[in-house]
Amino acid sequence: MRKPQVVVSDNVTAEMTQLIGGGLNDFNDEVTGYADRKPIAVVAIDPSTGAVIGGATGRSSLGLLFLELFYLPPEHRGAGLGTEILHAFEEEGRRRGCVAAVLYTISFQAPGFYERHGWRRFGEIGCEPPGTSRIFFSKHL
C-alpha cells in the first residue's frame, strides 16, 4: 500500500467537507451511541421583500449549542433585534435538550453584547491585526 499524498488547498469543496465531516460524525456516533447533531438558523426577514437580512446560524450536537455566525446590518443594530435573535437561538437549544452553548467572537465585534446576555468568557487568544483577539464564550442553558 502506497502512502497517501498530503495536499494543502484553499479550495474546500463540498465533497471534502462531506467526506471529512461525515467520517468524523460516524466515528462520534459509534463511540457515543448518540447522534443528535442538527443545524440551526434564526433569521430576520425583511417584511416588504421577504429577504433574509441577517441572523444567526450554528448547530446542536452532543447536548451543546454552537453559535457559529451572527450578523445584522448596521441599520438593524441597537433596537433589540439582535437580542431577540440570540434569545430565540438559545431557546431552540434548550428545546433540543442542550445544557450549554459556546461561541467565539472577535474583540472588535460584539463581546459586550454576549456578556450583557449572560455569556461568560472562558478564553482569549491574540490574532491579527495586532491588538485584536478572538474571545471564547459559554453559557449554561
Q: Cβ–Cβ contacts within 10 Å for residue 67, how many?
A: 24
* Full residue range of the structural domain in which residue 49 is found: 35-140
Assign residue 99 the CATH number of its domain.
3.40.630.30
Q: Is residue 13 part of a domain?
A: no
Q: Is residue 27 part of a domain?
A: no
Q: Is residue 67 part of a domain?
A: yes
Instruction: Summarize pLDDT for 29-75 with one digit per residue, the tens.
Output: 888 888 889 999 999 999 999 999 999 999 999 999 999 999 999 99
Number of structural domains in the chain: 1
Instruction: Summarize pLDDT for 65-102 with one digit per residue, the tens.
Output: 999 999 999 999 999 999 999 999 999 999 999 999 99
Residue-level pLDDT at 21? 87
Residue 127 makes CB contacts below 8 A (sequence gap 6+) with: 106, 133, 134
What is the pTM for the complete model shown?
A: 0.88
H/E segment holding residue 71: strand 64-71
Q: Is residue 112 part of a domain?
A: yes
